[in-house]
Every structure is written in C-alpha cells, then in structure tokens.
Amino acid sequence: MADDDNISEKILEGISESFAVKDGRGYQKKKDLFPSLSDPIYKLKKIGENGDRHKQLEKTNINLVKDFLWFYNKDTNNLREACQNIPDHDWNIIVGHALSCKPGPERYSYRIPGTDTTIFFTSLYQIVGAEFSGKYTS
C-alpha cells in the first residue's frame, strides 16, 4: 500500500458571504457568430425558434440557412415579401448574419436550356462565373 492511501482529512463546516451563481439556461439558444449552411433558420439573429418569422419562413419552405441564402440570391424581392412586416433594420441584421455564413467547398453549375451558357455558383449561391460557348468569364 502506498502512503497516500492512509491520508485522511477532516472536513470542517464553513460559512461564506452570499455570492451569485451563473445560470446556464438559454445558452443553447445563443446565436453563433458565423452560422453554418445546415443550421436551422432560427439560428439567425432576429429569428426566434417557433416565432412568427420562423413560421413565415417555414411556410415558404425556408428551413435552413442554406435555403434562406438560396432564396436571397435567387430573388431577394420575393424573399423580402415572404418575410412580411420585418422592419428594414431587422432585415439587414438577418441578411448580414446569413451572409457571414462559412462557405462550404461545394460549387454548383446551371446550364441554361437552349443555350451554350453555364453559370457557376459558390455554396452560398453567389455567382462566381459563367461559360459562354466554351469561354469562361469570372
């Protein structure tokens, strides 16, 4: 047996002044500084889980940050209309937070039917280039 096994300590009663204890409730609802594409839409600033804005976006099939960015880059005006009654200040915060998303490595392309044109997009659905008759332009 080692000497450490025979050591015992007596614990005495103590009194302290009052002190604050930090509560961890609500920590999970904290918004990330940089959301990911696969985050639920309510992870964006100014959109509460199961709140009115969250429900409005879900009605438009916008469930993830990725969906929001797709709609935003495809047709900003229709997305803005789908988010009825959001003040401009809040809209700018939501969009800014979504655009701060960490881009993924994916690249997408869309070939326009009936033409010899292909458009290239980032994982955030931003246009990065196009190919016209085999010639790429950024």
Please report, rounded to a whole number, the percentage of residues in the chain having pLDDT higher than 70.
Answer: 91
Residue 33 binned pLDDT confidence (cut-offs 50, 70, 90): confident
According to the model, what pLDDT value does residue 27 have?
A: 56
Threshold 0.75, pTM exceeds: no
On the question of pLDDT at 1 being above 70, the answer is no
Reduce the secondary structure of the chain to three states and give it as a string. Answer: CCHHHHCCCCCCCCCCCCCCCCCCCCHHHCCCCCCCCCCEHHHCCCCCCCCHHHHHHHHCCCCEHHHHHHHHHHCHHHHHHHCCCCCHHHHHHHHHHHHCCCCCCCEEEEEECCCCEEEEEECCCCEEEEEECCEEEC
User: Mean of the per-residue pLDDT values for the chain?
Assistant: 86
According to the model, what pLDDT value does residue 14 have?
A: 82
Query: pLDDT tens-digit profile of 61-94?
Result: 999 999 999 899 888 998 988 887 889 999 999 9
Task: Summarize the confidence of residues 109-137 as an average pLDDT.
Answer: 91
On the question of pLDDT at 29 being above 70, the answer is no
Regarding predicted confidence, which is higher, 58 or 104?
58
On the question of pLDDT at 20 being above 80, the answer is yes
